[in-house]
Amino acid sequence: MTDQPASQSERSAASGESPARRRVVSGRAALLFAITLAAAWAFLRLDLGLVDLLPSGPSLRMAMDFFSRAASPALTYESPETPAGAAPLLWKAAQAAANTVIFASAAMSLALPLGIVLGLLATSAWWTEDLAGGKSQRQRFIGRTLRPLVYGGTRILIAVMRSIHELLWAVLFLAAFGLTHLSAVIALAIPFSGILAKIFSEMIDEAPRDAAHALRGAGATPSQVFLFGLLPRALPDMTAYSFYRFECALRSSAVLGFFGYPTLGFYLAASFENLYYGEVWTYLYTLFLLIVAVEWWSGVLRRRFVV
């Protein structure tokens, strides 16, 4: 009796690899290949070359002067015409860092609650009938009529808010309202609210459902299922991401200084324009220490209240 050639399923079973697993691996390989082709096409289309990164002539001297001061940031003003009675450089850097934190904190105080509300409305778990439990007439009306309107409208609003960068919002508000602190705070709060809402909704949708299903089986109301069974499972990730967005708000707040707001970016730009590279590195290191301090602080709070 001759042996028959093994079928595809038999070969997969013999190798211990399921057809679904092979399809996933094949799909990932195709995606990686497509990304590689897109990257190669972009480099060719933009005519990118590593030789463009090598400065020469005056550019090379300026780059060398700039990076040579990284090991020796300025502790005093480099300008020979410093006004009498001016605050010391390090004190000015500390004040600029404090203003950076104030702008970022004000923006996040608006973005965080708005992001939570929009994130809840944009999550499919809030509107899912089987997770909410129950099939009353009111729930059927919500699922068929209210859900598409609110869910779709919220997703569109989130996309609009986060599609425009905070610097573009700053330009718009600067032209409309002038150089006011409120315009800077709102310019940061709008895109950050959209980003937080999008990520919060995805975290809630991807949270484990075991506790929610258990509460539903015990007869809990839809709100109880969501608030006590699902939301707490996503809360640690939401908290960690909120701290990360606060770090991003600090960097964006510093960049707003280039528009004239009294943050680190304002003094950094002024020093760079005057070729005071030592002062530039002083402000850069101040921003670096600020980010490190926030990272340490957020880690302490997460370990104490979340983990």
Question: Model-level pTM?
Answer: 0.78
pLDDT at 138 over 80: no
**93-306: CATH number:** 1.10.3720.10
Q: Please give the single-letter amino acid code of residue 234.
A: A
Instruction: Encode pLDDT of 87-137 as tens digits.
Output: 889 999 999 999 999 999 999 999 999 999 998 888 887 766 444 444 566
The CA-atom distances, in angstroms, between 146 and each of 109, 131, 142, 151, 223 are 29, 17, 5, 8, 16
Indicate the domain borders of the chain: 93-306
| CB hemisphere CA count around 131 (13 angstroms) | 24
| Of 12 and 262, the one with more pLDDT | 262
Band the pLDDT of 55: cuts 50, 70, 90: low
Distances (CA, A) of 158 to 115, 120, 142, 197, 199: 9, 12, 21, 7, 10
Please give the pLDDT value at position 133: 44
The CA distance from 240 to 120, in Å, is 17
Three-state SS for 57? Answer: coil
Tokens 């390090």 correspond to 90
Q: How far apart are CA 213 and CA 224, in angstroms?
A: 11
